[in-house]
Amino acid sequence: MDFLYIKALHVIFVITWFAGLFYIVRLFIYQVEAEDKTEPAKYILQNQYKLMSKRLWYIITWPSAILASIFAFWMLFQNPYYLSEPWMLVKLSFVFALYLYHYSCQKIYSQLQKDIIKYSAFKLRIWNEVATIILFAVVFLVTLKSAINWIWGVAGIFVFGIVLMLNIKLYKRIREKNSWEKEK
């Protein structure tokens, strides 16, 4: 198969993998927030979120992760010189971090399927941004590739992560203020 077809398929499955990771954590947040609802809404919502999570996780997210990896290995097999490029080694470390993130989401998914809630909606909102930071890092690394630019790019990713976390805290304050005003 032509390298560009393999590359296109790799990119497509990376996109669907990230889409699944972004949405699964949103579903986790909704399921945790449903814990505060009264019956029968709590039961209905939590069961619906479990079903949606199961379909998303096993029909989209896991297959996309596997297929993205297969096409990535295929590209590296066809072009092994990429493994001698410093930017590729840094990118692969971020991909490893993405798999750790995916594994952690698997653990949260399994807990929530058993009605074990260990994380607040706020902590899950923060957790949701980890995939965003990894996505930015990988895209900048693949796009820039030069040694000095990717170093600045990685530094920028950390700054971006800090800004995201500050925005999440601001969002939490705004939500708390709005809910307090509604109670008045």
91 labeled part of a ligand binding site = yes
Prior bond of 80 cis (ω within 30°): no
102 labeled part of a ligand binding site = no
Q: Which two tokens stand for residue 56?
A: 């998303």
> Whole-angstrom Cα distance, residue 1 to residue 5?
7
CA 161 to chain centre: 13
Q: What region, left, alpha or beta, does residue 49 occupy, with left being phi > 0 and alpha being psi -120 to 50 degrees?
A: alpha
Residues within the annotated binding site for heme? 10, 91
Residues within the annotated binding site? 10, 91
